Structure 1
Amino acid sequence: MARTRRPSDGRMPLLEHLLELRKRFVLIGAGLLLGAIAGWVLYEPLLVALQQPLERASELTGNDVTLNFTGPASALDLKVKAALFLAVFVSCPWWLYQVWAFITPGLNKREKHYAYGFVGASVPLFVGGAYMAWVVIPHAVQILTGFLPEDATNFTDAQMYLSLVMRLLLAFGLAFVSPVLLVGLNFAGLMSAKALLAGWRWAILVAFTFAAIMTPTPDALTMILVALPICVLYFGAVGVSMLHDRRVEKRLAEAEV
């Protein structure tokens, strides 16, 4: 079947757009499957790393803080979840590229090279956000287990603990990547730099609300330390979008002459 021709303005017809979406989902799924296989192999080192905050809290409080498996199948369930969790991290360059390739299909050949820059910026930001969450988790565990009575034992449910860690790492990673996605929308012509700048108050509010919800510790300092990098990245995205809009306006002005 012949492919529908793309209009001269670079926009994709609806049918082709849906086919492109399906293609990207299939490619992302294939990458996650391969990542899950790697995650299954790396399960043991991950489990050791996840228990370090609990062991540290046990040393500081003098109480026993250990993971608890509540059923015969809970260990298997935990391994499957850990494999899927690691798949997201192992394959993050792949699925981030697919996201970029989907939202910017109408760019010209020169502009498509920005896809490599997008992935190059997104991967360290995603890992950096996850690392910040990893730094917060031990402090949260220490503070929360500090309320245990003397000589008490805390049996932490392994499923619940892993789910909490996964949510924090993924949420922080995606929060740090979101400004780059805004740049992608700007390059695709879906959002102007002026519109991004006009929403700066909402961006700051969302950043601090996100930090307040996602940081399990009650102190304000941790919330501020989490929210500030997100705000800085947002304004960085605004700056990059402004430079891009100026280049586009200049190119259009030269074409009209």
Structure 2
Amino acid sequence: MTDTGSPATGVSQKGGAGRLRSKRRRRPRNPDGTMPLIEHIYELRKRLLIAVAAIVVGLGFGFFWYGSSLGPIPSLGEILTGPYCDIPPGARLQLGDGDECRLLATGPFEQFMLRLKVAATAGIVMSSPVWLYQLWAFITPGLHKNEKRYGVAFTILAAVLFIGGAILAYVVIVYALEFLLSIGDNVQTTALSGSQYFTFLIQLILIFGVSFEIPLLLAMLNVAGVVSYEALAKSRRGIIMGIFVFAAVASPGQDPFSMLALALAVTLLVEGAIQFARIHDKRKKKSKAEWLDVDDESASTIEAASGIGASGDLGSSGPLERPAPVRTSAPAGGSPATTASPLQAPAAGGSLYDDII
């Protein structure tokens, strides 16, 4: 017969072991946010699993939405093929009966893989608030308390900017395709396959979405104290030049509409981030103590305290008074009492306290 518990405590060994295991699973963190390497690995695994799960859920929803409409909202396939179908029929090959707009498929599995690719992109865009928050939550333990306050705001802004970039790419692609497909329509007609068209569209959406995160990254670095407003203001021309070069290289169509739209939009957002850094540094400087701005090798000024004059005198002081003499008691022999000053030098071989006693 096994002993399942103690009569004094009434707690079973199995329950105690369960509580110990639950305590191990919790892995309490240090208040300062530091953790060993194994804890960082566990934290990274947890954040990755949550982010991947959110993307998979979005992928499943996008796979269903690709071929089915959601009430008044048309299907995802119809929305994405809208820019191509808006091109005049003379600039593209018309497939299907009547006014139907169809893309060309050249392989047996192309339609399935294309639907899966579009659904994955839709899952990444729709689940961006979740995986962006998981990314911030993984970085947060290494930041100070005043820097963690901006976590929710930065996560919301990152999701809004990413989705805004994707919407702008969808708007720009109409003009980009019209320019690219109509530049030689008097000689040839373009017949795009679904893989070519959606690859171009997905690349443009992802490039716009990721590029819109650059201003937010600059703002985050400024809040963390890595980049100051002075450094951003001095490098403004170089940053704008780099943005235009990046837009020219990263744009998949190499057309002027997508390059200019990407460069101008990111430039405006970067200028907004620079102005945010100016306001943040100004507020931070006001709330910081004056002696923190002094160089390590320089001496800081000390304000005059109450009772201390500007010249360092301890107020108004007069001459020191002579202390009153101390009267000693008469000895047993009947000799008269004597007085002694506390400042009087002691007799040889004794001390002032011996004379008083």
Which secondary structure does the structure 2 equivalent of 1:69 belong to?
coil
Aligned partners of 1:234 and 1:12: how far apart in 2?
34
CA distance in 2 between partners of 1:189 and 1:17 (Å) = 23
1:11-53 Cα deviation digits (max 9, x unpaired) = 6655544443333222211111111111111112121122222
The one-letter code sitting in structure 1 at the alignment partner of 2:271 is F
Match of 2:45 in 1: 22
Q: Which of these residues, 248, 253, 273, is aligned with residue 216 of structure 1?
A: 253
Instruction: Give the whole-Å Cα distance in 1 for the aligned partners of 2:90 and 2:171.
Output: 17
Counterpart of 2:80 (choices 35, 39, 50) is 50
Normalising to structure 1: TM-score of the pair? Answer: 0.83
Residues 1:104 and 1:171: Cα distance change in structure 2 (over 3 Å): same
> 1:188-244 CA distances to partner (integer Å, 9 max, x unpaired)?
34444444444323321221123223163644x663343122112112222323433
Give yes or no for contact 2:83–2:173 (8 Å, CA) kept in 1: yes
Residues 172 and 261 of structure 2 are in contact (CA less than 8 Å); yes or no, is this contact kept in structure 1?
no
Say what the alpha-carbon RMSD is for the aligned residues. Answer: 3.1
Task: Determine which structure has more spread, i.e. the larger CA radius of gyration.
Answer: 2
Aligned to 2:176: 140
- Which stretch shows the higher mean deviation, 17-26 or 33-42? 17-26
Between Structure 1 and Structure 2, which shows a larger proportion of helix residues? 1
Identical pairs, percent: 36
Asked if 1 retains the 8 angstrom alpha-carbon contact of 2:66 and 2:77, the reply is yes
Structure 2: how far apart are the matches of 1:185 and 1:105?
A: 16
Kindly indicate whether residue 195 of structure 2 is the aligned counterpart of residue 182 of structure 1.
no
Q: Distance in 1 between matches of 2:64 and 2:45?
A: 29
Q: For the residues of structure 2 that align with 1:104 and 1:197, how far apart are their CA atoms?
A: 27
Counterparts of 2:229 and 2:80, CA distance in 1: 41
- Hey, what's the Cα distance between the residues in 1 that align with 2:86 and 2:213? 30
Structure 2 counterpart of 1:53, which letter? Answer: P
User: Which residue does 1:130 correspond to in 2?
Assistant: 166
SS of structure 2 residue aligned to 1:201: helix
Tell me which residue corresponds to 1:205. Answer: 241
Residue type of the alignment partner of 2:269: L
The answer to whether the 8 Å contact 2:92/2:181 transfers is no
Does the Cα contact within 8 Å between 2:176 and 2:253 map onto a contact in 1? yes
Measured in 2, the distance between the counterparts of 1:232 and 1:140 equals: 21
Over 3 Å counting, the alpha-carbon distance change for 1:43 and 1:71 in structure 2 is: same
| AA at the equivalent of 2:79 | A
Q: Tell me how many residue pairs correspond in the alignment.
A: 255
Name the CA distance, whole Å, in 2 between partners of 1:20 and 1:243.
34
Q: Which structure 1 residue ranges, 5 or more long, are not aligned?
A: none
Tell me which moved more, 14-23 or 130-139.
14-23
Tell me how far apart the structure 2 counterparts of residues 188 and 20 of structure 1 sit (CA, whole Å): 22
- In structure 2, relative to structure 1, the CA distance for the partners of 1:218 and 1:106 (3 Å cut) is closer
Higher RCO (CA < 8 A, seq sep 6+): 1
User: 1:170 deviation in Å?
Assistant: 1.1
1:220-239 → structure 2 map (5 Å cutoff):
223-239=259-275
What residue ranges of structure 2 are gaps of 5+ in the alignment? 1-23, 68-74, 96-101, 293-301, 303-357
